[in-house]
Chains A and B, each alone.
Chain A
Amino acid sequence: MIDLLFGPFLEFGFMRRALVGCLALSLSAPPVGVFLMLRRMSLMSDAMSHAILPGAAVGFLVAGLSLPAMTLGGLVAGLAVALMAGLVTRSTVIKEDASLAAFYLISLAGGVLLVSLRGSQIDLLHILFGSVLALDDPALWLLGGIATVTLFGLAAIYRPLVMECVDPLFLRTVSRAGGPVHYAFLGLVVMNLVGGFQALGTLLAVGLMLLPAITARFWAADLSGMIPVSILIAMLSSVVGLSVSYQADLPTGPAIVLAAGGFYLVSMLIGRRGGLVRRLVRARHLEA
Chain B
Amino acid sequence: MSCDLPGAITLHGLTLGYDRHPAVHHLDGVIPPGALLALVGPNGAGKSTLLKGIVGEIPCLEGRIARPGLDEAIAYLPQAAEIDRSFPLSVLDLVAMGLWRRLGPWRSARRHRATLLDALAAVGLAGFETRLIGTLSGGQFQRALFARLIVQEARVLLLDEPFTGVDGRTTADLLALVRAWHGQGRTIVAALHDLGQVRSHFPHTLLLARESVAWGPTERVLTPQNLARAQSLSEAWDEDAAVCGRHEAPGPSHGHGHDHDHDHDHSHDHGHDHGQGHDHGADRRPAHPRDHGHGVARDRGHAA
Q: List chain A positions with a Cβ less than 8 A from chain B.
A: 38, 156-160, 162-163, 165-167, 169-175, 177, 221-223, 226
The answer to whether A165 touches B97, judged by C-beta atoms less than 8 angstroms apart, is: no
The answer to whether B74 touches A166, judged by C-beta atoms less than 8 angstroms apart, is: no
List the A residue with the shortest CB-CB distance to B88: A222
The answer to whether A222 touches B132, judged by C-beta atoms less than 8 angstroms apart, is: yes
List the B residue with the shortest CB-CB distance to A38: B87
Distance to closest chain A CB from B22 (angstroms): 20
The answer to whether B57 touches A174, judged by C-beta atoms less than 8 angstroms apart, is: no
Contact of B78 among A160, A169, A174 (CB under 8 A): A169
The answer to whether B87 touches A163, judged by C-beta atoms less than 8 angstroms apart, is: no
- Asked if B279 is an interface residue, CB under 8 A from chain A, the answer is no
Q: Which residues of B are found within 8 Å of A156, using beta-carbon distances?
A: 105-106
The answer to whether B100 touches A163, judged by C-beta atoms less than 8 angstroms apart, is: yes
List the B residue with the shortest CB-CB distance to A172: B57
Q: How far is the CA of A38 from the CA of B85 in the complex (A)?
A: 11
- Listed A/B pairs (17) with beta-carbon separation below 8 Å: A158-B105, A162-B89, A165-B87, A166-B83, A166-B84, A166-B87, A166-B94, A166-B97, A170-B78, A173-B75, A173-B76, A175-B100, A175-B101, A221-B88, A222-B90, A222-B132, A223-B89
List the A residue with the shortest CB-CB distance to B77: A170
Q: Which residues of A are found within 8 Å of B11, using beta-carbon distances?
A: none
Contact of B97 among A157, A170, A226 (CB under 8 A): A170
The answer to whether B88 touches A226, judged by C-beta atoms less than 8 angstroms apart, is: yes
Q: Which residues of B are found within 8 Å of A163, using beta-carbon distances?
A: 97, 100
- Asked if B82 is an interface residue, CB under 8 A from chain A, the answer is yes
The answer to whether A38 touches B88, judged by C-beta atoms less than 8 angstroms apart, is: yes
Give the secondary structure class of A's interface: helix
**New contact pairs (19) apart from A169-B76, A174-B101, CB-CB < 8 Å:** A38-B87, A159-B105, A165-B84, A165-B87, A166-B83, A166-B84, A166-B133, A167-B97, A169-B82, A170-B78, A172-B57, A173-B56, A173-B57, A173-B74, A174-B100, A221-B88, A222-B90, A223-B88, A226-B88
Q: Which residues of A are found within 8 Å of B55, using beta-carbon distances?
A: 173
User: Which residues in window 50-105 of B have CB below 8 A to A?
Assistant: 55-57, 74-76, 78, 82-84, 87-90, 93-94, 97, 100-101, 105
Which 8 A-B pairs rank lowest in CB-CB distance, beginning with the nearest?
A222-B88, A166-B87, A174-B100, A173-B76, A167-B83, A159-B105, A160-B105, A169-B78
User: Which residues in window 120-162 of B have CB below 8 A to A?
Assistant: 132-133, 152
Distance to closest chain A CB from B71 (angstroms): 11
The answer to whether A177 touches B82, judged by C-beta atoms less than 8 angstroms apart, is: no
Q: Which residues of A are found within 8 Å of B90, using beta-carbon distances?
A: 222
Distance to closest chain A CB from B52 (angstroms): 9
Distance to closest chain B CB from A262 (angstroms): 25
The answer to whether A222 touches B89, judged by C-beta atoms less than 8 angstroms apart, is: yes
**Given A163-B100, A166-B83, CB of A177 within 8 Å of CB of B89:** no
Q: Which residues of A are found within 8 Å of B132, using beta-carbon distances?
A: 221-222
Q: How far is the CA of A165 from the CA of B97 in the complex (A)?
A: 12
List the B residue with the shortest CB-CB distance to A173: B76
List the A residue with the shortest CB-CB distance to B101: A174
Q: Which residues of A are found within 8 Å of B94, using beta-carbon distances?
A: 166
Q: How far is the CA of A226 from the CA of B76 in the complex (A)?
A: 31
Q: Which residues of B are found within 8 Å of A171, using beta-carbon distances?
A: 100
Q: Which residues of A are found within 8 Å of B82, using beta-carbon distances?
A: 167, 169
Q: How far is the CA of A175 from the CA of B74 in the complex (A)?
A: 11
Distance to closest chain B CB from A276 (angstroms): 20
